[in-house]
Structures are given as structure tokens and as C-alpha cells.
Structure 1
Amino acid sequence: MSAIPRLIERHTEEVICALALSIMAICVFLQVVMRYVFHSALPWSEEVASIAMVWAVYMGASLCVRERFHIRIMAGILLFPRTIAKWFVFLADLFAAVYCILMLIVSVEYLGVLARYPAHTPSLGIDEFYPQSILVIGHLLILLRLVQVYVIWLRLDGKGIPGMRAEHEVESSHE
């Protein structure tokens, strides 16, 4: 893979997540300053902050799947022999993939409704389709990152626990 696609693949979620968190923090800070210093409110800041928060959450979830930081008690899994631990991880990832597929189906249907019957955000007046598209984008990215973990794992001959770095596997080497 050349440098630019690799850069995009490695940092897209990080950049979007950092940008969304920054936008959220700035909007909340501006709102606090406006309310307490100027005794006025920005009607749009709460809406922008909430949209940015949802985007940050989904991008962060995808990033966590890629880096294997998502919710799972790896310390407990690593207490088992590697073969059993591998099956626990595989089963958990299978459930996560099924959940993402189901959410993708529901999210696509939801966006279809929003496309047919447009709704607009209260303060900004933008079409709800655009901020709500994170539902499809987020679940699709999570699913793709989950598949990516297994593709990389299989390229490494399927040794160890999928997505786990070698230093963690040493702790679980009692088979």
C-alpha cells in the first residue's frame, strides 16, 4: 500500500474524532461564555456539539475496534489457555459483527425514511439525513475494521489471539 492510502487508512478515524471533539469543546465553551458573561445563548451551539459528540463516539468506536481497545475483559480472557481464549475472542467478535450488520440494515432503512421524508434540525435547519448518516458510516467502519483485524491475523498464519499484540500473548502461553 502506498503512503497516502496508508496514511488515510491509519488516521481517518483519529482525525475525524479529534476534529469532532474539538468542535464539541469549542461549542460548549462558547455557550458557557455567552451565558455567564453576556447573559445570552447561542441557539446553534448545543446542536452542533451534540452532532459532533455522536460523530466522535462512532469514529472512536471504529478506532477502538482497529486498535482492539473496545470493551472486553482481556485480563480475564488471558487467564484461559490460548485456544480457549481465541474462541472467546472469536465468539465476541462474531456477536459484534452480527450486531453491526443488524444495525446497518436498520440504519439504511432509517436513512431511507429520512431521504423520503426530509426533516431538518431545529437550530441549524440542515437536513437530518447528513448528521444521521453517521449511523451507517460508523457501523460500516466498525464492521470493516473487525474484518481487517481478522485479515491481518490470517496473514500472520492465524497464530495467537486475533488482534492481540505479541506481548499480550506471552502472558497467555500456557496451552
Structure 2
Amino acid sequence: MKNTPKSMIPSVEMIIASVSLVMMTGITAVQVFNRYVLQSSLDWSEELARYLFIWSVYVGCSYATQMDRHLEVTIVRTMFKGKFARPVTIAASIFTLLFCVFVTVLGVKFIIFLAGTGQKTPALEINAYWVYLCMPVGLGFMGLRTLERLWWLITGRINPAEIEIN
């Protein structure tokens, strides 16, 4: 997107999401090779690939927010270009921020609960909270990115009437 200010928050999410996707792809390729060529499946590969995919999605949501690539309903913003574009976009950002805070808080509570139960994953036998930690981490990062974009909207560094719709 053009005319977007440079973020002050380092792009840790891009690294986490990218590494997760690369590892998932590699593990899946090894599993396919083992299954069809060596006739021997790995017990843990599908579970780990699934968890890496989940991490890449949750953390990737934050990166999509940073790059302004989330799906959004833009009909109101485009219909009333100059007049209502800023208030509508600010309202949408506030609702997104509230959602991120809500899910992050619930996610932290769930992680604390899982840590207390000692539940383990079936194949990998790691603590289950490592899998679910992606929820508060991803939505926490997304909340920070949304807060940053909200500040840019309020201060006029972003003009929603000029945002390109791809």
C-alpha cells in the first residue's frame, strides 16, 4: 500500500509466520516422501505441521494488519469517500482493537488454565499451551498494529479516502 507510514514496531511476526510456513512445508514434504517412497510414516509430522500452520495464521494476521492486507468491507468508505471515510475507518479500527484485546485476555487465561492442567499433545507430547500460545501472541501483535494504525488515522498520517482497494 502506498502512503503508509513506516511502522515503529519491528516486524517479528513476519519472521515467525515465514519460519512456521517453511518448516511446515519441509515437514510435510518429508512426510510425503517417507509415506510413499519409504512406505513408513512419521508419527509426529502431521501434528507438528498442523501446529505450525496455526501459528503462521495467527501471527500472520498481525503482519497482514501491518501491511493493510486484511479483508474489509469498504462499501461505506467508498460510497461516502471524503465525508465518512475517516470516522468509519476509525470506528472499524476501534472495534478491531477491542476484539484483539478481548481475545488476547481470554487467550492468556486459557494458557494459564492449560499450564495448570499439564495437558500434553497426542503425538509430540509437548505441553498443549505451546500450541494455544499463538492466540494471545498473534492477536496481541495484531492489537499493537491496529493501535498504531488507529493513531495514524487520528493524526492524519493515513487518509482512508486515498487508500487503494485491490
* TM-score (normalised: structure 2): 0.84
Query: Can you give the 5+ residue segments of structure 2 that lack an aligned partner in the other structure?
Result: 1-5
- How big is the shift at 1:73? 3.5
Q: 1:81-117 CA deviation, whole Å, 9 max, x = no partner?
A: 2231222222222221221122122212211111211
2: CA distance between counterparts of 1:81 and 1:129?
Answer: 45
- The 5 A counterparts of 1:22-61 are 22-61=22-61
- The 5 A counterparts of 1:115-126 are 115-126=115-126
2: CA distance between counterparts of 1:152 and 1:126?
Answer: 41
The answer (yes or no) to whether the contact 1:13–1:60 under 8 Å persists in 2 is yes
2: CA distance between counterparts of 1:24 and 1:67?
Answer: 23
The answer (yes or no) to whether the contact 1:82–1:160 under 8 Å persists in 2 is no
- How big is the shift at 1:152? 3.1
2: CA distance between counterparts of 1:143 and 1:9?
Answer: 12
2: CA distance between counterparts of 1:130 and 1:22?
Answer: 19
Q: Bigger relative contact order, structure 1 or 2, given CA contacts below 8 A and separation 6+?
A: 2
The residue type equivalent to 2:33 in the other structure is V
2: CA distance between counterparts of 1:19 and 1:158?
Answer: 32
> What's the counterpart of residue 3 of structure 1?
none
Does residue 160 (structure 1) correspond to residue 159 (structure 2)? The answer is yes
2: CA distance between counterparts of 1:28 and 1:50?
Answer: 10
Q: Name which of structure 1's ranges 27-36 and 98-107 shifts more when overlaid on structure 2.
A: 98-107
The answer (yes or no) to whether the contact 2:86–2:159 under 8 Å persists in 1 is yes
> What's the counterpart of residue 114 of structure 1?
114
- How big is the shift at 1:8? 9.2
- The 5 A counterparts of 1:1-175 are 9-74=9-74, 77-155=77-155, 157=156, 160-161=159-160, 168=163
Q: CA RMSD in A?
A: 2.5
2: CA distance between counterparts of 1:54 and 1:31?
Answer: 18
Query: Can you give the 5+ residue segments of structure 1 that lack an aligned partner in the other structure?
Result: 1-5
Aligned residues: 160
1: CA distance between counterparts of 2:62 and 2:149?
Answer: 12
- Distance verdict in 2 for CA 1:51–1:8, change over 3 Å: farther
2: CA distance between counterparts of 1:159 and 1:15?
Answer: 26
